[in-house]
Structure 1
């Protein structure tokens, strides 16, 4: 299983915003530089996070991005869904329906993975990542 680089950048961006102080606005160039990614590419990711109501943008000389209310309730799964969407990772090529044994195994595995990501809140990772952000 592999998530896109966009998800990786989104997760790290959210951690950086949380560690930098939740109410502080940070520019896209600073966020992009921190991760070694193009500001244009990161802007597209930030747009998805803003549409998911996790961050907000501010225009102007001191513009940038900052976290929205309840940022401390975000799980890793919330970020994954904001970037990747909520569709299943596996689609059976045959139209067997729910009785397909392969589909059953994969759906159970995916449910367990989602539960694991749902249980891990981003805010708890700040302590572990603070030195690396």
Structure 2
């Protein structure tokens, strides 16, 4: 299993926004893109998904950009992943079984455990670790 590069960029962007929340000033897409070496156009598409998921908000104008919305402390890795990748199961049995597929059962169980781990990993907690290092 491999997450898309978009998820990578989304997680890094969100972490940057969480770390820089004390001033809560909007950060421009160009600055966010430059930090990751990605095109602003590509990152804008990712940011749109995060806006639709209710994690960030965008403001237009000369001092516009993106900033976290309220309750950002509760945003988990899984929230960001679902915003970018969707919530579809990673495995879907293609066999026509009479009964429940035992392979599907094992795969869903593993996915559930991984989801729980990612749900418990809050970006705000990771940001605290980063701030202690700086």
TM-score, normalisation: structure 1: 0.93
Work out the CA distance in 1 between the residues paired with 2:12 and 2:90. Answer: 22
| Contact map agreement 1:98 1:104 (CA 8 A) in 2 | no
Work out the CA distance in 2 between the residues paired with 1:60 and 1:86. Answer: 34
| Contact map agreement 1:56 1:67 (CA 8 A) in 2 | yes
| Contact map agreement 1:58 1:65 (CA 8 A) in 2 | yes
Work out the CA distance in 2 between the residues paired with 1:128 and 1:93. Answer: 43
Gaps of 5+ in 2: none
Work out the CA distance in 1 between the residues paired with 2:65 and 2:98. Answer: 47
Work out the CA distance in 1 between the residues paired with 2:21 and 2:120. Answer: 23
| Contact map agreement 1:55 1:66 (CA 8 A) in 2 | yes
Give 1:130 deviation, angstroms.
4.2
Gaps of 5+ in 1: none
Q: Between Structure 1 and Structure 2, how many residues are aligned?
A: 133
Q: Secondary structure at the match of 2:67?
A: strand
- For residues 36-85 of structure 1, the C-alpha deviation after alignment (integer angstroms, 9 at most, x for no partner) is 11100000000000000100000010110000000011111000000000
Name the counterpart of 2:13. 13
Name segments (4+ residues, structure 1) moved above 6 Å.
none
Q: Secondary structure at the match of 1:78?
A: helix
In the alignment, structure 1 residue 122 sits paired with structure 2 residue 123: yes
Q: Point out the more displaced range, 2-11 or 87-96.
A: 87-96
Q: Point out the more displaced range, 13-22 or 96-105.
A: 96-105
Aligned residues: CA RMSD: 1.8
Give 1:34 deviation, angstroms.
0.4
Give 1:129 deviation, angstroms.
3.4
Q: Secondary structure at the match of 2:58?
A: strand
Shift in alpha-carbon separation, 1:17–1:98, aligned structure 2, 3 A: farther
Give 1:128 deviation, angstroms.
3.0
